[in-house]
Amino acid sequence: MAVPLDEAVGRLVHDGDTVALEGFTHLIPVAAGHEIIRQGLRDLTLVRMTPDIVYDQLVGAGCARKLVFSWGGNPGVGSLHRFRDAVTRSWPVPLEIEEHSHAGMANRYVAGASGLPFAVLRGYSGTGLIGNNPHVKTIVCPFTGQELAAVPALNPDVTVIHAQRADAAGNVQLWGITGIQKEAAMAAVRVLVTVEEVVDELEPVPGQVVLPARVVDAVSVAPGGAAPSYAHGYYERDNSAYKDWDAVGRDREAFGAWLAELTGSTGSEPPSTSDPVGKGA
Amino acid sequence: MAVPLDEAVGRLVHDGDTVALEGFTHLIPVAAGHEIIRQGLRDLTLVRMTPDIVYDQLVGAGCARKLVFSWGGNPGVGSLHRFRDAVTRSWPVPLEIEEHSHAGMANRYVAGASGLPFAVLRGYSGTGLIGNNPHVKTIVCPFTGQELAAVPALNPDVTVIHAQRADAAGNVQLWGITGIQKEAAMAAVRVLVTVEEVVDELEPVPGQVVLPARVVDAVSVAPGGAAPSYAHGYYERDNSAYKDWDAVGRDREAFGAWLAELTGSTGSEPPSTSDPVGKGA
Amino acid sequence: MSTLPWTSDEIMTVAAARSLSDGMSCFVGIGLPSTAANVASRTHAPGLWMIYESGTLGASPGHLPLSIGDGILAETADTVVSVPEVFNYWLQAGRIDVGFLGAAQVDRYANINTTVIGDYADPEVRLPGAGGAPEIAASCREVIVIMRHDRRAFVDKVDFVTSVGHGAGPGDRERLGLTGAGPVRVITDLGVLEPDPITRELTLVGVHPGVEVAHVREATGWDLRVAEDPRRTPEPTGAELSVLRSLTGAAHI
Amino acid sequence: MSTLPWTSDEIMTVAAARSLSDGMSCFVGIGLPSTAANVASRTHAPGLWMIYESGTLGASPGHLPLSIGDGILAETADTVVSVPEVFNYWLQAGRIDVGFLGAAQVDRYANINTTVIGDYADPEVRLPGAGGAPEIAASCREVIVIMRHDRRAFVDKVDFVTSVGHGAGPGDRERLGLTGAGPVRVITDLGVLEPDPITRELTLVGVHPGVEVAHVREATGWDLRVAEDPRRTPEPTGAELSVLRSLTGAAHI
């Protein structure tokens, strides 16, 4: 069932899609994100609780028109400069943002995975997240009269996750910090999973999440596909790569060079230059 | 931290409490149920998705004034005759019932564990469960206008579960079919866990649920405490005991004898005889 | 029927097994549905993906479970999930192709009763209740009901609607917001009933070998409509019977 | 302060660590809160139960994690749960004694901003955003904030209310339905602020060794109220400093 990553992305991800590449510090689907950049996808609504450097890269490469998120940063390092440049200077293209709290996003995925149109939580009350976000409303408990927050279900067109292993039938196994991946996958219309390896038998592992093959549309083998994040049991987090990204992300030119290397293009120009102000952020 | 079961029940369970002894076929806290009978607790509101023979015994012994449930039967065998006798003939005492679907009960526990006053689900619509149950209402999605069912959170005064193991600190580990136990425990004000054994270290097991000690009020060692249900990795289900219960449960006198043996009382009389009709069901 | 080399329960179970296709996901109730699903997975549908409400996904038990939570289900499953997860992420989300249910009563519009016989407040017989059935009937893409056929079970109107079939007729499921198609077939020890495409009324579309239509009408508590030319259920094959009997043991032979 | 044998960050971290009691459950943000919590668990509070929002419950990392989801947290936790579970079953259910947060801005009523500096629609600085903070601030029994003290950070009114402290004053948390007590203490590199019991306005109740009250008022973007006799923070002990430095390495020494 495993298909090459370029083929899987080509088949499952389309311009204009709502795409969630999920991973909570651990098992971030970086290889798949890079393939999305390489294929030059555009107008994506990118969704993720914790957009980090691979989202900075997708945004900098001009793949996204909107970002739905709850915490956007370079964990342990600081800010995402491509993200800042897009939000504050529309470079390389304008980026609309819709922001939530983690609890709100998590429950939006839960509702999506559960086939419900919305989720209820204690949250948002009194915060500025309400005024700026039409996707948060108030709901009244029909039993107690208490007011709570309601958020709409999140159902991405495609969810992409990275896992340790799959078997030949396409059952997927991940463990360690499993975050929101199960909900993000089950909320999606289509699911692409990159894995470290395909094995004959998924030997049970403590703390595992198994996604049955029938909720997975494609498995692609991408060893190291979560780096510079980590894959519990396979490799460690490359903290220096996160730190090093700061300098690259800060500078449009350095980013352009990085992008050219990733995409194999000859020049070092960014993909578009809709901002006449030039080098910014 | 482990305390004798009689002491734990005496400390945590009181007359009039709402008590959930949960277990979904697997790991049913039978020993704890029997201790509740032995201590002669009364006026309990018993809660469980799948009340089976230990609930038949509790009801027959006159411990309960109300049963909140979604499926009451002797799994694979048939009906619960003490339950029937209580519902249709108020023997030994009248039994009020409040019934739900499994999905409704499961989500009531989820809401309880989540600190929410209610849960939303697609369910109940068009069924007779609505007309007979004030605990099901309709709620409208504030984003789509869809009508869905709402059910109130379940927060038992006490939840009792059986698990394979605990450590000395009171962390509890269960695995196999883990059912609704995590939610039932986390929804409760007080939590009593009976275990097969206390071990030095909870070696991780695939598929495990670990309940941290801080949500557990007492651990009691009760080897075989889930029999005649089973404890994955410890002992098998005693199917013959379920079949044998049918004859005992059908007959008030046979039940009285069973009860006398359990409680060590000399006579074979049931605990009360509020039904002048005598032997029934 | 005593001259036939199989029992009425056996033809019912085999007919039910045949209505499951290979590769389907099937939410399996305990008892007759579980037996039929396990026959299917051992004959024409090796890829049948069985879900039991205890949270065992993709179970392939080596013997018939007595309950929905037997150890053999957990041991053979692709994965075991919590009860909220099986109901919310799998059933409610509409991921299940077919829900396979038993019933104490079914009515003209395939509504299902597993709660009480008689009045709810003062029942003649108190049955186990709803369990997972209401949401299985609501949310699976299709529902198949398997139950023995007699006038106490096949009634004009169920004493209690535990699980909605086709309500009071056309449009009712849509009006109630039920996402699945509802019962598409009721398989009994006498024959096969399906809802009329227009009226949604259960109609006899098939009879088992050796069963007369008149007999089925006799065993039904309403004036049963009969398709123009009811199919005759093909006899159980030797392979089907041998698999079934290996599962049920001597008790069902 | 150059004459003191510790840095202002060190006294801040030690003071924050001291405000955690043994046996508490603590929802730990990354950065300064995580450092302080790990100092506490290695000194006076070995039974501190640390929860990181990645779902690691009861983590006891052998070194400081760089992110809330480092492998060391999962490896040392009592158990690892999903993200929905940590937010719903643990945080929202009110099971956490203290939420330990950092901030980019805090205001007179201890409201917290980690979203933008400037106007939301056209920000001067775009910050990472909310993360788990709004619900940590809402639902933990108490909240402790740790951040460096200057006029850009301590503002009369935050540019954006990411997480509610005491709103606009007395009664606001109750009116908003927030279940926890909210911020009970803000610990900075200069001193300690606590909300006035009546007005809920942040008041200087303590200063670190070598810090003048005037200096703190100077570094605060509103007319800071000062308690009658502000406590002097006891100096870091050798044990505290040595634990802290073993965690942070040379960079913070």
Query: pLDDT: is A280 or C196 the higher one?
Result: C196
Tell me the DSSP string of D24-75: -EEEE-TTHHHHHHHHHHHTT-TT-EEEETTTEEEE--SS--SSTT-HHHHH
The tens digit of pLDDT for each residue in D5-36 reads: 999 999 999 999 999 999 999 999 888 999 99
- Which ranges in chain B belong to alpha helices (H)? 5-12, 30-38, 53-60, 81-89, 102-113, 128-131, 181-187, 239-250, 252-263
Q: Is the peptide bond before A228 cis (omega within 30 degrees of 0)?
A: yes
Task: Inspect the interface and report whether the beta carbons of C57 and A116 lie closer than 8 Å.
Answer: no
Instruction: Please tell me the distance from the alpha carbon of residue D152 to that of residue C200, in angstroms, as a whole number.
Output: 70
Instruction: Please tell me the distance from the alpha carbon of residue D207 to that of residue D195, in angstroms, as a whole number.
Output: 15
Q: Would strands A137-140 and A147-152 be described as parallel, antiparallel, or unpaired?
A: antiparallel
Average pLDDT estimate for A246-252: 97
Q: Within the 95-114 window of chain C, which residues sit less than 8 Å (CB to CB) from chain A? A: 95
The tens digit of pLDDT for each residue in D140-193 reads: 999 999 999 999 999 999 999 999 999 999 999 999 999 999 999 999 999 999
Chain D residues with CB inside 8 Å of A239's CB? 66
E strand spans, chain B: 18-21, 44-48, 64-69, 96-99, 118-121, 137-140, 147-152, 158-167, 172-174, 190-199, 209-211, 218-221
Task: Inspect the interface and report whether the beta carbons of A143 and B118 lie closer than 8 Å.
Answer: yes
CB D139 within 8 A of CB D179: yes
Tell the burial category of C237 from Cβ atoms under 10 Å away from its Cβ (0-12, 13-18, 19+). exposed
Pick B117's closest partner by Cβ from A115, A118, A143. A143
Lookup: tokens for A129: 């997240």
- Whose tokens are 């049913």? That residue is B28
Closest by Cα among A87, A84, A127, A86 to A104: A127
State which residue of chain B sits closest to D86, comparing Cα positions. Answer: B114
State yes or no: pLDDT of A226 exceeds 70. yes
Q: Would strands D116-118 and D56-59 be described as parallel, antiparallel, or unpaired?
A: unpaired
- Which ranges in D101-237 belong to alpha helices (H)? 133-139, 172-175, 213-218
Q: Does A73 touch chain B (CB under 8 A)?
A: no
State which residue of chain A sits closest to B119, comparing Cα positions. Answer: A120
CB B124 within 8 A of CB B135: no
The tens digit of pLDDT for each residue in B137-164 reads: 999 999 999 999 999 999 999 999 999 9
Instruction: Please tell me the distance from the alpha carbon of residue C24 to that of residue C11, in angstroms, as a whole number.
Output: 22
State which residues of chain B have pLDDT below 70.
1, 266-281
Return the C-alpha torsion angle C127, C131, C137, C143, nearest 10. -80
Looking at the annotation, which residues of C are catalytic? 53
Lookup: tokens for D164: 């509610």
Pick B214's closest partner by Cβ from D25, D89, D92. D25
pLDDT at res. A275: 43
Chain C residues with CB inside 8 Å of B209's CB? 82
Q: Point out which residues pair with D129 in neighbouring strands.
A: none
Q: What is the DSSP letter of A200?
A: S
Closest by Cα among B78, B80, B29 to B53: B80
pLDDT at res. D122: 87
Q: Count of residues for chain C?
A: 253
- The amino acid sitting at C245 is R
The tens digit of pLDDT for each residue in A89-144 reads: 999 999 999 999 999 999 999 999 999 999 999 999 999 999 778 899 999 999 99
- The amino acid sitting at B174 is L
State yes or no: pLDDT of A251 exceeds 60. yes
Range in A77-81, B155-159, C45-49, D239-243 the model is least confident about:
A77-81
The tens digit of pLDDT for each residue in C215-225 reads: 999 999 999 99
- How close B78 gets to chain A, by Cα (Å)? 32
pLDDT at res. C250: 45
Pick A210's closest partner by Cβ from C49, C79, C179. C79
pLDDT at res. B266: 59
Q: Point out which residues pair with A201 in neighbouring strands.
A: none
What phi, psi does C106 have (nearest 5°)?
A: -135, 150
Task: Inspect the interface and report whether the beta carbons of B128 and C120 lie closer than 8 Å.
Answer: yes
Instruction: Please tell me the distance from the alpha carbon of residue B150 to that of residue D136, in angstroms, as a whole number.
Output: 26
Q: Would strands B96-99 and B64-69 be described as parallel, antiparallel, or unpaired?
A: parallel
Pick A115's closest partner by Cβ from C57, C79, C93. C93
Question: Which chains neighbour A (Cβ–Cβ under 8 Å, 3 or more pairs)?
Answer: B, C, D
Instruction: Please tell me the distance from the alpha carbon of residue A120 to that of residue A114, in angstroms, as a whole number.
Output: 13
State which residue of chain D sits closest to B209, comparing Cα positions. Answer: D79
- D205 Cβ contact partners less than 8 Å away, ≥ 6 residues apart: D191, D192, D193, D194, D227, D230, D231
Range in A200-204, B143-147, B178-182, C118-122 the model is least confident about:
C118-122
Q: Does D34 touch chain A (CB under 8 A)?
A: no
- Whose tokens are 């990118």? That residue is A46
State yes or no: pLDDT of C154 exceeds 90. yes
Closest by Cα among A51, A48, A21 to A36: A21
Q: Does A125 touch chain B (CB under 8 A)?
A: no
Q: What is the CA radius of gyration of chain C?
A: 17
- D214 Cβ contact partners less than 8 Å away, ≥ 6 residues apart: none
**Chain-centre distance for alpha carbon C103:** 8
Instruction: Please tell me the distance from the alpha carbon of residue B149 to that of residue B154, in angstroms, as a whole number.
Output: 15
Q: Is the peptide bond before B92 cis (omega within 30 degrees of 0)?
A: yes
A·B CB contacts under 8 A: 65
- Whole-number average pLDDT of chain B: 93
- How close B209 gets to chain D, by Cα (Å)? 8
Average pLDDT estimate for A63-88: 94
pLDDT at res. A280: 36
Q: Would strands D191-195 and D183-187 be described as parallel, antiparallel, or unpaired?
A: antiparallel
pLDDT class of D3 with cuts at 50, 70, 90? low
State yes or no: pLDDT of A150 exceeds 70. yes
Average pLDDT estimate for C155-183: 96
